[in-house]
Structure 1
Amino acid sequence: MRPQPERPGGVRPAGRTDGALPGPPAPPAGGPARTAGREPLWRDLVGDVLRRERLAQERTLKDVADAARISMPYLSEVERGRKEASSEVLAAAAQALGLGLGDLLARAHGELTRHTRTRGRATSTAPRNALCLAA
């Protein structure tokens, strides 16, 4: 265990005593995008699309990870929205499922659009910049 440095006046910083830096608080068990009333994160949407497509094809995580040439634990984390995958990884995973990168992103966009619609327009706090024309 490494001793913590003292601040001026002999006061040590509060918190952990093992020398490790405190990290950000852990997200809720359901993940940040699963929280009610919040817009989902892009990584959650893309991961959901990948997992749904893989399960629809009745393929295993190992099978798709091998075909995409990425590790199985990493693909699992991408599917669960725990990792923000690069475009190269997303393209490889999509191709392993018989999709193009554009198909994957279009499906994720569709999910975001559906989610936004189900939240309703009444919850929007953004001002509307509409122009009304009368005939």
Structure 2
Amino acid sequence: MRNLSKDDNYVFVAENNLGEVIGFADGGKRETNTVENSGDLTSIYVLEQYQGLGIGRQLLRILFLQFEKLSINRVFVEVLEGNKSRYFYEAFGAEWIQTEKVKIAGSELNLLVYEWKGIGSVLNHT
């Protein structure tokens, strides 16, 4: 929730026909910015019963269009190794660049860091 409330973060939501939120995507300027013109895709989430309908793709597109407006041309996303959403990122051209160890609830887990080196390919693919 911390990411959703940041002032310089952008949040986009998807709704069903009843106006209920069924998914969201958020991101913004990279906090640990050592790479010029870079941003973070902080999260994409779509309720399970709505997955596979192209909603995640639409959310990814609108977020990357916002990145384009901000002159962000490199985007990073971090995902736990066991999270199947990493395959979604890979399908849209994100490249694994490193693995970091993180401790969550006393367990050491692998955090995979992915990067899109250009946002044009994502916009053309979505």
Bigger share in strand: 2
TM-score in terms of structure 1 length: 0.25
Bigger share in helix: 1
